[in-house]
């Protein structure tokens, strides 16, 4: 599991064409950290305070909920 570099995320966000913050974070994790496994992405966000707030906002309770969002992107 990695610790999310939110400063790098802010720079990445400036270049993203997406408007949904969760989609930008997911895109960032896939691109910057080369994460492809939904369980790894879920565990990384779960261990982060901001990630936990996103889970609450988007009603993500487990890695399957997150996987469904990834497949819709």
Nearest CA to 54 among 12, 4, 7, 11? Answer: 4
pLDDT in tens, 3-42: 999 999 999 999 999 999 999 999 999 999 999 999 999 9
Length of the chain: 73
> Are 63 and 20 within 8 A, CB to CB?
no
pLDDT in tens, 10-19: 999 999 999 9
> Are 43 and 1 within 8 A, CB to CB?
yes
Extents of the domains making up the chain: 17-72
Q: Which two tokens stand for residue 31?
A: 């691109």
Give residue 73's pLDDT band: very low, low, confident or very high (50, 70, 90): confident
Q: Is the predicted pLDDT of residue 1 greater than 80, yes or no?
A: no
pTM for this entry: 0.88
Average of per-residue pLDDT across 58-66:
95
Gap between the Cα atoms of 4 and 59, Å rounded: 21
């Amino acid at each position: 599991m990695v610790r999310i570099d939110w400063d790098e995320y802010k720079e990445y966000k400036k270049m993203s064409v997406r408007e949904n913050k969760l989609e930008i974070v997911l895109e960032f994790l896939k691109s910057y950290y080369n994460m492809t496994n939904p369980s790894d992405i879920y565990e990384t966000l779960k261990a982060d305070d901001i990630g936990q707030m996103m889970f609450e906002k988007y009603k993500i309770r487990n890695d399957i909920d997150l996987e469904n969002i990834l497949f819709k992107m």
